[in-house]
Structure formats: structure tokens, C-alpha cells
Structure 1
Amino acid sequence: MTKQHDDRPDFTPYDGPAGGWGSMRSLADIVPREKNVAVTTAELVRQNKPDGFMCVSCAWSKPYPPNPAEFCENGAKATAWEITSQRVTPDFFRAHTLSELRSWSDYRLEEAGRLTHPMRYDRATDRYVVAPWEEAFAAIGARLKSLAPRSVVFYASGRASLETSYMYQLMARLYGNQNLPDSSNMCHESTSVGLKAAIGVPVGTTTLEDFDHTDCILHFGQNVATNSPRMLHQLRAVHKRGAQIIVFNPLRERGLERFTDPQNPIEMATRSETPIATQYHQVKAGGDLAAMMGIAKWVIENGHVDHDFVAAHTHDYAAFEARARATGWDEIERESGLTRAALEQAAEAYARSKATMAIYGMGLTQHVKGVDNVRMLVNLLLLRGNIGKPGAGVCPVRGHSNVQGQRTVGITEKTELAPVEKLKELYGFDPPTEKGLDTVEACAGVIDGTVKAFVSLGGNFVRAAPETELLEEGWANLDLSVQIATKLNRSHLIPAAGETWLLPCLGRIERDLQASGPQRVTMEDSTSVIHPSLGKVDPASPHLLSEPAIVAGIAKALLPPNPAIDWDAWVGDYALVRDEIAKAIPHFFARFNERLREEKGGFWKGNKAAERVFETESGKAEFLVPEVLNATGFTDSDGRYRLLTLRSNDQFNTTIYGYSDRFRGINGTRQVVLMNRDDIARAGLTAGAKVTLASDAGDNHERRVGDLIVVEYDVPPGCIAAYYPECNPLIALAHHAEESHVPAAKSVPVRIVA
């Protein structure tokens, strides 16, 4: 049974594998708790199937044909969580003020259930009260008309469909605005910037088929068992073929060590396990640059460079080679926290491989030198020609289920990534061309008052973003806050000084019945495959609208009529929106509707770099010559630690499903800090002591998170770990990746206060 937050915390190491009976017991806990067992069980059969719905959790790719059960533990939790029978009705808000609800935990807020009615905040009673949809749209439109467009932010969380996302970005640009940050700004913008500069595309180059051909996987900074558990099936198959899986990660994560396949009766019956990593290197937080330089140095100095590929397809190799040869092993060992022998072992395995994939997550992107991390990983691949051939390439693992797709259809603050010329041609207007606000810049605008309104298409922005205390203070001064959501969260409880609206929408698993009949939507997975999704569950309330209908309702109230746009027709038939996407972005979406019908497993949108066509300034893949090997952006000193924030096993982003982090043996609490045994002793602490973490960002603003229990854990010396989003208040807004502005949440400078 999953311990909840009011239980006495328990810290008992977990000896089991990822998957297996532990996953089964976890599902046996959450599904009955959401009080909709029969419906959830039936829907899990449809999850991630061509005629079913795409998981509302992670963006990992879906095989075709699918497995009988094409869902993981966390995906099943997300489904149960979304189609819960519990409801947040007007009676709920009559019983609870927002002041009271702000004292609730993240878990308790969402566990209350699905929102059922459109609501307006009433300051006199400090409560949400029911308001008709027509009133909501009219009021939002009128307020936005009264504001300068550039003072408004249109945020998207990463779960909205391609259809909704296209309509949303079009509405913003017609309004005169491209302040369109999304959750990519918080996690993988370092990928978009780094890969675009290095190989000419902002996304990965691999597909699921590459797992069948790879000889070696370099795996950096990604906890597969928590963040994308279905990938364990591909990793298991790779290991069983005898290929190498070389892991670099500060913590030893169970899913990267061993796995029992819940769909394998023999493994379940015998409790047998498949090892995953063939090598496991616990690199220091922020030390990946140095580790990769060590591997590159060995490959170069021992004659394993593919010089034919390098000469034909890359630029600036000579400068990188000189930097690698000149870098000393003492610096590499000091900055990586790994020995020369360990890095040479990894390099030898890499050199033997004929086809290597590089998989990574936010352990690379969320650092001050996050873009350099991404580009250094590309350097490694380029050295041996591992771009553009079967079994090789770069594989960034995205989080939200359509965050990559949202960017593809125009949700971006960057003009060069949006189809603005096509939008101008199709709809007869002049889209804005100046750069809009990204997440960090939007936070700064809320804090300093230059942002006057915030419209949020899903998500929990206040909780997910850094600089929590100042952000909440600034949020309370907004003229307008509009939150489109399925469940209650912290961002809904900070009312604006002007108007605050809470607009409940249909979930992806629910039946979306419009004028032309039941509607399906589409999304893009981590490997650039476009999938359809059809919901069939009865809506949580008859008062819900679909996301496209909500966007259209705001657009009609905000914008003058446009003869090229029929918002009502688009809401009545999402196929019409897909036709518009095909016109605006033909190189990816030509024959969009036809391809959805023809290609049952979804269709790959294509990737020039995977064909060794590099759309960079030089026309070739670019080597990066890094200036430093420490990605943290700060230097170590006595008493300063590198804090990396992480998720638990009972969590997806800011959604907390429970208080069991099974793999780490932490139950009943999230108020912990994981520390190396020697660091605990050096700090004069003992396991179980309560401490406060204080930001050591070097500015004058005090940031603290207290009441954290010290837990002894296998973490590299000088590094500590604690949960996201609880420790977001420690992240200074200025502590972000230099080029991408991703908050550097994987190496935050902090001190411990006993």
C-alpha cells in the first residue's frame, strides 16, 4: 500500500527491479483509490493503441504493432488520475476559500478530482463561483483588448493536441503577440538550441527501429523507470542482443540497473530480471561535459575517429581535436568525478561499436552549460559517424505527451521556428516578428510587472517555474489570469488583482462530440511520429468544453472576424484544423488526414539530419569547442553543494500521485534531501536530522526550503538531491542555461542549514 503524506515516513531500501510485481502492486493501489475501476481497466486496453488514446503522461514512442498492454506503471497512474470519479464541483468551492486551499499539498489538490464548471474568482468571498461560458469568454476578450498585446503571455503546458496548439498560437499571433512559452522552455529548450546549431534540426534523429540495429547506447541524465518506463522494453531487448548500454547518471536508478517485464509471464512467475546497464558511471552533477571530453580524448588519441565521415559531413573538427588533445586527464577526472580508467572503459566500448545511439534527458539540458552538454554529446556521435545510419543517432527523451508537437505547429516565442510567412499568406495579416517571451523572461515580466495577463493552456506554471516566492507575489498583481485545466493545482489558487478565470476542459481520454461527430486529435512523440488519439469515456461533467472550443471561444471574443477563419467550423470538425496545419506546414504535414487513415501506427514527419543533410550555415554538422568542462556555471567551495532536483516514482512533473518513491526506498514524505554518507559526516549531521537548504546564488535575495529530512543515499560527494517542485524556490531566475534559458535545476548552488 502506498504511504500517503500523513503517514510516518519510512526509509527502507527497495531490493526489487523496475517493473515486476512492484509495478503491479502500485497499480493495485491507485486504480481503486480513484474509484473508477471498471472504466479505468477497460481504457488501459485502449491506451497507446492506434484506435485508442495516446497516454496523457510521457511522450515516449509507441511501437506498431503494439504490445497487448501498451502502458507502463506511470502511464496507468495518469489514466486513473484523469478519469477519476471524484469531482470538484461548485459545492467544493462553497466549502473552501482559496486561502484555505493554498495550505493543501499538491497531491491533495489534484486528488480532489475533476473540475466540472467554468469559474470566476470572487474577491469578496475569496472563492470561485460559477459563471456561464459566454460570460467568461466575453470578459476575457474584453480584458485582453484593454491591454497591450506584448504585455500578455500565452503559455502551453505540453499536453494539448496539435489541433488545439495550432489554434492557440494562431489566436496569439492574430492578437499581435508571440509570447508563447511552453514547458519545453523549462526542460528541452537546450536540445532545440543545441541540436539546431549542431546538426540543423531541433529534435532527435532516431526512431524505435534504431533500437533493433544499435550496438551501443550512451545514456546520459535520464531516469527511465520514472520518466519513460515503456522504453525499458527497448532497453531490455538491446541488452539481450548483447549490445552495450553505458549509463552516466549521478544517482543509481533502478530502471537503469535491472528490469522485470510485467508482460512476460515467465519473468513474473520466476521473479527473474534483465540487467540493463553494462556500465554505470556516477558522474557528478554538471560533470557530463568532462566525462564526454574524456571519451572523445581517448577515441581521438587512439585512432578511432571515422575520418571519412568527419571530412565529408562535419565542420571545425580540427579545433575540437586540438582542444581534446590539450585537455589533461587531471581536469577531466576532477570535473567529472570519474576516474580515467572508468572513462577509458566506456570509450573502448564506444570505439568497438559500429552503430551508437545517444539517449539523454534533463540531466544534460538543465544546467548553465546545458546547450554545451547537448552539443558535446553530438561531438561524440560525429567522431565515429553516428548520425544518419541505422542504429545510430541522438535521442532526447521528451516529457509532456505533445510538447515536441506543440513546437512543430508554432507554439514558440521564436519567429524562425514558426510558419509566420505561411500564416500571413493564409489568413491575411502581419504576424509579429520580434522575439517573444520565453519562460524565464515571462517569469521576470510577472515579477517586475511588465506582464499584465497570463493565459495558461494547461499546466501548473507557478509551481513548475523557478523563483517561486517572487513569482507568486508578482502573480497577485496581474490584471488577468486564465487557467484552462482538468484538475485543481497551485497556479489556480493565486488570484490576480484583476480577473481570475478557471476554465475546465475535456481530458484526452474523454469522448469529444462535436457537430460532425466524435473527434480525434493528434500528437507527436519523442521520435517525431504523429499519432491519432480518440477518447471514448463519458465526460466528467456536461459543462465541460473541449480545448479547441475554449480557444475558439476566447478568439471570437478577442479578435475581429477574419473571412479566412471559421472558428466554429474548426471546432465542429478537427479534420478542418488538420487541413489548415497541412497548408501552413506542408513539409511535415502534407496529406495530414489521409496519412492518419493510411498509416495505422502513425507517420514519421521526417528528419533531414537523419539523412545526413545538415541545414546549418556551413551545410555540415558542427563540432563545438567547449570553453569549460564544468556545466554548473559556478565553482565548488567549502559548504556549497550541487543540488539536483528530481521526480519520485509516484509523480509526473508537478502531478503527485502519492508519497511512495519505491525505487529509492522513501515512503510517506517528499520532504527529504539525499546526501552522500561522507558529506553527512563532514557536515556534522546524522541521517534523520532535519535541515534547511539555502540558495547560494550570490545575490541578495534569500531563498530557503526547510524541514527536509536527511537521507543517506549513494550520491556523488558534493552533490545532494531533493524533489521537484518542492525545491523550486531555491532556483534563482538568473540561474539558467546560457543560450536556451532553461532553468538549471540539475545543479543549483545551495548550502545546508541545520
Structure 2
Amino acid sequence: MSKHSGDVRIEDPTMPAGGWGSVGEVTHILFDQRVALKDSALLLKQNKPDGYACVSCAWAKPANPHPFEFCESGAKATAWETTSKAIGADFFARHTVTELATWDDHRLEDQGRLTVPMRYDPGTDTYRELSWDAAFAEIGAALRGMDREQVVFYSSGRASLETSYMYALLARMYGNNNLPDSSNMCHESTSVGLQKTIGVAVGTVVLEDFEQTDCIFFFGQNVGVNSPRMLHQLQAVRKRDVPIITFNPLRERGLVSFTNPQSPAEMLTGHETAISTQYHQVKPGGDTAAIMGLCKAIFDLDDAALASGRQRVLDTAFIQEHTEGFADFEAAVRACEWADIERESGLWRPDLESAAGVYCKSSAVMAVYGMGLTQHRNGVQNVAMVVNLLLLRGNIGKAGAGVCPVRGHSNVQGQRTVGITEKPELAPLDKLKELYGFEPPRKQGMNTVEACEGILARKVQAFIGLGGNFVRAVPERGLMEAAWRELPLTVQISTKLNRNHLVHGKASYILPCLGRIEIDRQAGGAQDVTVEDSTACMHGSRGMAEPAAPTLLSEPAIVAGIAKATLDPNPRVDWDRWVGDYGTVREAIEATYPEIFHDFNARMWTPGGFRKPVAAAHRVWKTEGGMARFTVPESLQGNPDLRGGPATLRLFTVRSDGQFNTTIYSHDDRFRGVYGSRMVLFMARADMASYALAQGDVVALRCAAQDGVERRVDGLTVVPYDVPQGCIAGYFPELNPLIPLWHHAKESKVPAAKAIDVILERAGSAS
């Protein structure tokens, strides 16, 4: 079945993840971006021990990689960066900012690589080229005259460990801890939830655990789109007949079946590996309730084992020796009613009992999860509930078991490791004082939500963006874009043109940088950098493509240029030496974090990476009480503070296979059968019937919050889809305008994009 609605074409999606569809997508984007044959060969070096780390996702890089250790998403990211398309000052002379603001996100980035530094000229409404020296001097002069606590130093997850260390030092020497990053928008709930329950802010699983696990529980992570290389591990697990039990609102193709494009036999025969052995379409926001149901069923099985004299289901020895808070948690689980669990999770008791039965028969269980757990009002609680589930049978700190949060951007975890944090207690401030002879600021900095609040209050004076597309990624778009234009200064360090350059401050600069895949030639020769993957392993990365233009500077050089123009000279910080030889930056990182980075330069090319210490993986609990902590959930409700009436639907945002974060490679989503537009709304057929809607009808959504702010998105084409009844889905970032800034995770302040109560209106309806 196929149907057109304006520019939208809808087809029934039947293909597996991978397969010929993936090969076709890679071929298309290499051709579209005019990537030369010699540059397309770079893919053979992607995620290899002597090559470059993918600039897309942060999935682990094996010591013994596949011949083609890249996925469709990674190939798209490489093509996007190594494109032969380029834009210089002449492009901006032809197009005003007002005109460019009418272009969609894909068209903007598709113009190619930025090549020269530019400053916005309000008289002509265009960006004009200026020299690097002039750009640094003007930015430095502006920053020196500002309130040091009202300048924000934001970073996306792509900058290297070396750049991130320098950037964090720049911010603290300037005088603040305002270092929000993209982690604030995705996995900060993980950092908070894991830290308080098991004493580490990262997962405990490494790649080798996939070879030893006998069961995987999967929560809220679309592997086929966000981290396709993990499908190799999942396929290997399934070939060992290991069960994978999935909890996710949508039946995502990558969690249903996979054809390995690197297997000639599978490609020729069309063989598909079934990934999930059980698939439970949990209601968005219902994860705490679902896990509560699993735990309740586990207690029932343990009761039955006790009554019959069989071996206990609970690992009582582990619980007694390694945990605290068990009695309170047990009491809460036993008191919880199945009717409440079923209502809030959207799942039936027998299905949860079936999943719990598999869990209890398994001796080494991994829990894998993504932003489907973290981007909720109770996101931190969701993470803690995953820990509760694992602790019941001692599934942390043993081979084949543990918690595995799947990070998004390629070094977002690593940035936090080397100091990108707004929390002064997480930064080695005393060590920085000792090394560099200045008094680091001790005041709490702004995270992403707080930076937005400061911008809305007209208190933030400058925003420096190390990568990313901040105004497109954050909630509250209507208010944020208006306030953004009142900022005295905005600076964007970028590779491609995006919305953040067009929604700009009164003084605005674009500083184009080298990409990670490009050869970075400095005074000391070609330089290498390092990144950290999702499993806390550090890897070297070597640029291999010729730069898009000779006018580009590296990210470290740009950070150093801003620092030298802004800060008073410090004899202990030789920015030029660091830029000339990144090995000296790694020496500085080692001096600052000796436990993690000892022998950094010698170990950076270790096949498979070297891992930072993760105490919980060895059953050492660096919590307040020195034990792993069971915690009692505050509520089963997934959306406790934004609950509309009976006329509301629960919206959750998703990504397509044609995007990575805010980068839109195309308007197509072959896994969901949508072509030509991203302005679509996925609805259950039962809900379509209740609203008297047909496929192709156009509707609007408005947020159900009653706080005096109008939040609305028009022009959404209805697409029937297998979505839990009462719930709808649409694309990030197109539907971000519906998210109130205050609708964020408790404790972590991650925007709650996975559960937004909205009201649906037909096109043209009055609000």
C-alpha cells in the first residue's frame, strides 16, 4: 500500500534493519555529497584501531573490528563531513539571513562545509568574512567586558578529549562553571541515577559481556537508527539463542529483525535474524510501572520457590553483602497493585510475568537502555528502577551482566570525564588550582535548562557554542528564539550551516573548524585526538581526509585563539604549545586525572581502547553508604506534572533513519515508510477512528499545559502506525516547540521529550 499526501508518501515498512536498504542509503549519500572515490575509501578506516573514530554515535569500538566497522548512520556522518560541497563568503553575499531562515534544516546543512570565519552585518542582514585575528580580538574584547557569571560555554558531544579539556579550562579561567553540554539533554538522568545507586555515572558493561550474557532486557532505545553497529552484538547474541526482551512504545525495525550487510550469504538469501524474543509496547512514561511489575512477578516467583523448598530466585547473598534499602523496596513492590501497574505501563500482568520468568531463569542479565528512559519527568527514577531490577539477582559486577546506557554523540561521555560539567563537585578544582595557579570558581554553573532560563530572563550576555545546533535542540522554541536574538554575543564553532547561525545574537560570529576526519596539521606535524565510547573506553582517532579548505582552524586552535584574546596571560598555560602538539594536552589531562589517564599517550592506540576505572563493575560501590542502593519509586505515573484531561494524547518524539540528532540527512524514514516530509504524526488506528481521521489528513497539536504560553505545531500529516492507544509520535526536533522548558526530569533537568500531553486539532481549528 502506498499513498501520497502533498509532499508526503506513505508506504508499508517491511524491510529489516541493515540489508540492501542500508547499502542503498550509503551509496546514495556518498553520491549526493559528491564524496570522491578516494574519500569513500575512508570508511574502511572508520572505528579501526589505527583509523578515525566515527563522528556519529558513541557505540564501542572493538579490538578486532569487522572489515567494514561502520554502519549506515556512520557512513552518512562521514559523507556529511567529507563532502566536496563548500560555502564561503560569496554564498552569504547572495543570501540574506532572513532568506536562509526560510530554508529547512536539511537544505541548510546540505550546502556543504563552512570555510571562512564570518561576522553578522545587521546593515545588510548577511554574514561577512573577517580574518581569524579580527574575530578572536573582537570576541575577546566583548567577553572581557561582560559579567563573568553570565557567559555560557556550551559544547555538543563531538569535540575531542583534548578540545574539551582546553574548553573547560577556558571557562573556569574566565570565571564560571557554565559548561552545559548535550548530555544535559539526553543522559544526565543516567549520570545522576547511576551515581546515587551504584556509585558510578556510567554503565558497567563492556563489549565482551555480550559474549557471556544469557539474557538482555532492552528499554527505550532504537538501535537500528541510533547505534546500528550494536546490531552485530545483538545478532551474535541471538545466534546463541539468548533471549532479548524489549520494552519500547514503537516496534522499531532494528529491534525486530536484522540482515547483516557485511554477510554475503545473508545479503544473497535475504536471511533475517529475529532480534527481540518478546516485544512489549510500553506506554510512554510507563517504564517505572513496567519494571515494578517485573519486580513484583520476581517476588512472587521467589515466594513460590520458598514455599516448595526450591532454590531462591532472589540472590539473597548478594543482596545482604552488597546492597542497602532492600526491605523498603520489597515492601513498596508488594504493596503495589497490579491494576495500577497495568494502567500506567499499558501492559498486561501475564506479559510482565512472562518476561520476569525469563529473567529469573537467566544467570547473567544485561539491561540496555537509551533516551526512552531518561527523557521523562521521572527519568532518574527510571534509571534507578533498572538498577533495582538488576540488583535482585546480583546482575551487576559479573561477566555477561550489568547496566548498559547507550550514549548518543561520539564523545559526549568523554567530555564529562575531562571537565565539561556545570557541577563544581565533579571537577578537580583543587588540582586545576595546583597545576595552573588560579582560583577556580566554586559556584554551581548553568546546565542546559538553566542556561535557557537565563536567556529567557535576559540575564545571559554571551553564548559560545562548541558545535551543535542548540536553538533547534532545546524545548520552548517560540520563546527561546525570540530571546536568543536579544543576546549581546553569540559565537558558533561549526562545520556546517545550521539554524543556530540564523537565529543569532546582536553580535554573531561563525568560526568554521576542521572535522575529526580531516588531517589536522599543526606546528608539530599532523595531530591525533582521543574520544571515549559508551563503555568508558578511550580511543585514538587520526584524521585522514584533506581539509575542506586551507582557511579552517582546528577546534583546539579556535579554543586557544579565544582564550588568548580573552584571558590574562598565565605562564603555566601555554596555549600555543598545546595547539602545536596535542600530546602535550594529553600530558595535561594525565596530570589532572592520573587515575584515569596514566600513560595516556602510550595507551591511546590500545586496540579496543583502554577503560577508565568503573568501580561498580568490580562490585565496589562508591555511594554515600558504600553499598549499592535499592530505591523506592516516588510514583508510577509517567507524566506526573503535565497530565491533561480525557481529550489529551501523550506525544513522544522520535528520530528517523535519515537523521542524527539535529542533523537531517534526508526527509525520508524508510523504517517507518515515510518519504518526503518529517511533518508527520504517527497514530494508532483506533485513535484515528475516534477522531474521525484518515491517513493523509492534516492536523495541529498544542501542548496541554495551562501556564499562559501558547505552544503549537501545525501542518502534521496523520500516518497510521502501531502506537499504544492514547499515544502519538512525531519527529525531534520538529515537535520541540510543544515542550515547556519546565517539563524536565526531576534531579537531572533533562527535557522530558518522551512524554508530552497534547491536544489534537484539525487543520484550521482555533486554539
Deviation at 1:606, TM superposition (A): 2.1
The answer as to 2:455 corresponding to 1:446 is: yes
Q: How does 1:296-695 map to 2 (within 5 A)?
A: 296-303=295-302, 304-497=313-506, 499-597=507-605, 599-633=606-640, 634-635=642-643, 637-695=645-703
Please state how far the C-alpha of 1:631 moved relative to its aligned partner: 2.2
2:310 alignment partner in structure 1: none
Which runs of 5 or more residues in structure 1 are unaligned? none
Matched letter for residue 447 of structure 1? L
Quote how far apart the aligned CAs of 1:6 are. 12
- 1: CA distance between counterparts of 2:470 and 2:272? 39
Which residue identity does 1:233 align to in structure 2?
A: H
Aligned to 2:257: 258
| Contact 2:62 2:607 survives alignment (8 Å) | no
The answer (yes or no) to whether the contact 1:169–1:411 under 8 Å persists in 2 is yes
Q: Report SS of the residue matched to 1:519.
A: strand
- 1: CA distance, partners of 2:650 / 2:36: 43
Q: Is the 8 A contact 2:180 2:448 kept in 1?
A: yes
Deviation at 1:283, TM superposition (A): 0.3
Aligned partners of 2:443 and 2:177: how far apart in 1?
8
8 Å contact kept, 1:373–1:631: no
Query: How far 1:636 sits from its partner (Å)?
Result: 5.4
The letter for the 2-side match of 1:632 is N
Deviation track 1:219-251 (CA, whole Å, cap 9, x = no partner) reads 000000000000000000111111110000000
Deviation per CA, 1:513-547: give whole Å up to 9, x if none.
01111100000000001000001211111110000
Decide whether the 8 Å contact of 2:220 with 2:248 is kept in 1.
yes
> SS at 2:403's partner residue?
strand
The answer as to whether partners of 1:692 and 1:707 remain within 8 angstroms in 2 is: yes
Identity %: 60
Partners of 2:644 and 2:704 within 8 A in 1: no
The answer to whether 1:700 aligns with 2:708 is: yes
- Contact kept, 8 Å, 1:301 with 1:325, in 2: the verdict is no
Aligned partner of 2:305 in structure 1 is none
Distance 2:434 2:704 in 1: 51
Partner Cα separation in structure 2 for residue 694 and residue 395 of structure 1: 35
Show the counterpart of 1:721. 729
Equivalent residue for 1:181? 180
CA distance in 2, matches of 1:684, 1:441: 41
On the 8 A contact 2:644/2:705 being kept in 1, the answer is: no
Equivalent pair of 1:89/1:115 in contact (CA under 8 Å) = yes
Deviations 1:669-721 (A, max 9, x none): 10100001111111222221100000112211001000000111000011100
In structure 2, the CA distance between the partners of 1:420 and 1:621, relative to structure 1 (3 Å rule), is: same
Q: Deviations over 1:450-500 (max 9, x none)?
A: 111000000000000000111111111111000000000000112312x10
**2-side partners of 1:494 and 1:636: how far apart?**
32
Contact 1:670–1:723 (8 Å) recurs in 2: yes
- One-letter identity of the residue aligned with 1:510: E
Amino acid at match of 1:753: E
- In the alignment, structure 1 residue 709 sits paired with structure 2 residue 717: yes
Q: 2:643·2:757 contact (CA, 8 Å) conserved in 1?
A: no
Match of 1:738 in 2: 746
CA shift for structure 1 position 37: 3.3
- Distance in 1 (alpha carbons) for counterparts of 2:604 and 2:719: 50
Name the SS for the 1:371 alignment partner: helix
8 Å Cα contact 1:358/1:395 also seen in 2? yes
Q: Distance in 2 between matches of 1:393 and 1:589?
A: 24
- Checking the alignment, whether the CA contact within 8 Å between 1:8 and 1:668 is kept in structure 2 is yes
Q: Which residue of 2 aligns with 1:38?
A: 37
Return the alpha-carbon distance in structure 2 between the equivalents of residues 217 and 423 of structure 1.
Answer: 41
1:27 alignment counterpart: 26
Structure 2: distance between partners of 1:648 and 1:481: 30
**Cα distance between partner residues in 1 of 2:264 and 2:644:** 49
Correspondence 1:49 to 2:48: yes
1:15 alignment partner in structure 2:
14
Q: Is residue 2:759 matched to residue 1:751?
A: yes
Matched residue type, 1:619 = G
| Partner residue in 1 for 2:271 | 272
**Partner secondary structure for residue 332 of structure 2:** helix
What is the letter of the counterpart of residue 141 of structure 1? G
State the AA in 2 paired with 1:593: N
Deviations 1:351-399 (A, max 9, x none): 0010000000000000000000000000000000000000000000000
Amino acid at match of 2:473: A
State the alpha-carbon separation in 1 of the partners of residues 248 and 717 from structure 2: 23
User: In the alignment, is the contact (CA less than 8 A) between 1:214 and 1:390 conserved in 2?
Assistant: yes
- The number of residues matched between the two structures is 749
AA in 2 matched with 1:586: P
Find the counterpart in structure 2 of residue 144 from structure 1.
Answer: 143
Partner of 2:307: none
Q: In the aligned structure 2, how far is the partner of 1:48 from the partner of 1:184? A: 22
TM superposition shift of 1:601: 2.7
User: Equivalent residue of 1:661, what SS?
Assistant: coil
Residues 211-226 of structure 1 correspond to what in structure 2 (within 5 A)? 211-226=210-225
Q: Secondary structure at the match of 1:664?
A: coil
- Residue pair 1:40, 1:79 contacting (<8 A) in 2 also: no
Cα distance in 2 between the residues matched to 1:39 and 1:57: 21
What TM-score do you get using the length of structure 2 for normalisation?
0.97
State how far apart, in whole Å, the 2-side matches of 1:424 and 1:469 are: 41
Distance 2:716 2:293 in 1: 36
Distance 2:344 2:227 in 1: 29
Counterpart-to-counterpart distance in 2, 1:7 and 1:608: 55
Q: How many Å apart are 1:434 and its aligned residue?
A: 1.3
Displacement of 1:194: 0.3
User: Is contact 1:31–1:40 with CA below 8 Å preserved after alignment?
Assistant: no
